[in-house]
Amino acid sequence: MPPAELIAAVRDVHAGGKCIPPEVAAQLAEHVADGQLTAREIDILKEIAGGHRNRTIAERLFISEETVKVHVKHLMSKLGARDRTDAVAIGVRRGIIHL
């Protein structure tokens, strides 16, 4: 960061403003664009966190196994998760679920 920008940033922060580096702002923008999980997707994520398979989740939530698979697919996409474990980790980090 050039000295003039640094001085301006310090003044802005001192005055109560915020200074967010462009790299951080870009990462934050990615998460703001994430779709919000529906209540049912959160239910499914909680069940996944409990270690349950799709069949068991379906039985516990009184829905079909195919419906569970659709919800899992959507929540994985919305969270940007690579797998079920990653989805749970992201959910915990973002405060969506608690273990």
Helices and strands (DSSP H and E) totals, the chain: 6, 0
User: 45 with 36: CB under 8 angstroms?
Assistant: no
Regarding whether 10 and 25 lie in a shared domain, the answer is yes
Q: What is the pLDDT of residue 29?
A: 64
Instruction: Count how many domains the chain has.
Output: 2
Specify the DSSP class assigned to residue 37.
P
More confident residue, 61 or 27: 61
In the chain, helix, strand, coil percent, each to 5?
Answer: 70, 0, 30
* pLDDT, averaged across the chain: 89
Regarding whether 74 and 59 lie in a shared domain, the answer is yes
pLDDT-derived band at 91 (thresholds 50, 70, 90) equals very high
pTM of the model: 0.68
**Pairwise CA distance, residues 23 & 81, whole Å:** 21
| CATH number, domain with residue 75 | 1.10.10.10
Average pLDDT over residues 79-84: 94
In a domain, 72, yes or no: yes
Regarding whether 24 and 48 lie in a shared domain, the answer is no
Domain, as residue range, for 27 = 3-32
Residue 36 DSSP SS3? coil
**Pairwise CA distance, residues 44 & 52, whole Å:** 9
More confident residue, 26 or 61: 61
What percent of the chain lies above the pLDDT cut of 90?
Answer: 62
Indicate whether 68 pLDDT > 70.
yes
- Cα angle value 81/85/89 (rounded, 5°): 75
